[in-house]
Amino acid sequence: MDFLTELTKKIKHPSTRVVFPEGKEKRIIAAAVRAAEQGIATRFLLGNEDATRSISVHEGIDLSRITIIDPASSPKLESYIDAYSRDHDFPTEAAPFILTKPLYFGAMMVHTGDADTMVTGVPTETEEVVMSGEKNPRKPGRPRAIPEEYEPVVVELYDQGYGYRAIARILREEYYLNPDYTSVRRTLRRLGKIKK
């Protein structure tokens, strides 16, 4: 049984809004188009529109029935940032770092009711797919020191204006580390970026 047959069995109504966050993956683009051709659901592809269209032209895929949404330029981004920050107790200034990723943007579309379901997992690790839908992802256990190889990331985020808590949260969600804000402060102090 192929993916589209399985999707057809699960979707009960053609007005179901399905979001496909892996808009750079040609198999996902093709699946979304096949779903459109068969009238299975309303389809949203997430990703950079130019990149998605370039892939579709190269593969000979017609995107005329597909809505492409670029999370970074979507008018919904600000409201998603507010909702994500509120629901996840997450610093507002760090939320765009997470929500401009199609997987997390797609999860917010479902969470806020802008889509009914999300289909993903072809090139994306299962753990990341699960994390994108969790209410409170990556709550830290016992904080650990930031590994030396990630110190340049801490400095770069700090130089971009992110606060200590935001940097700690980004490291947990993006790099699967487990620091808290005091670990971030300690690292920046040791590297001479902040005074004691």
Coil, helix or strand for 106?
Answer: helix
Cα four-point dihedral sign 121, 123, 129, 132: negative
Structure confidence by residue, pLDDT tens digits, 9-53: 666 566 678 888 888 888 888 888 887 887 777 788 898 989 888
Q: Taking residues 88-103, what's their average pLDDT?
A: 84
Task: Judge if pTM exceeds 0.85.
Answer: no
Q: Which residues pair with 18 in a beta bridge?
A: 43, 117
Q: Taking residues 127-151, what's their average pLDDT?
A: 60
- pLDDT of residue 89 exceeding 70, the answer is yes
Domain map (residue ranges) of the chain: 3-133, 148-190
Give the pLDDT score at 72: 93
- pLDDT of residue 135 exceeding 50, the answer is no
- Long-range CB contacts (< 8 A, 24+ apart) of 73-80? 74/105, 76/109, 76/112, 76/114, 77/105, 79/112, 80/105, 80/108, 80/112
Give the pLDDT score at 79: 94
Written out in words, the top-level CATH class of the domain with range 3-133 is: alpha beta
pLDDT band at residue 137 under the 50/70/90 scheme: very low
Torsion over CA of 94, 105, 100 and 182, rounded to 10 degrees? 20
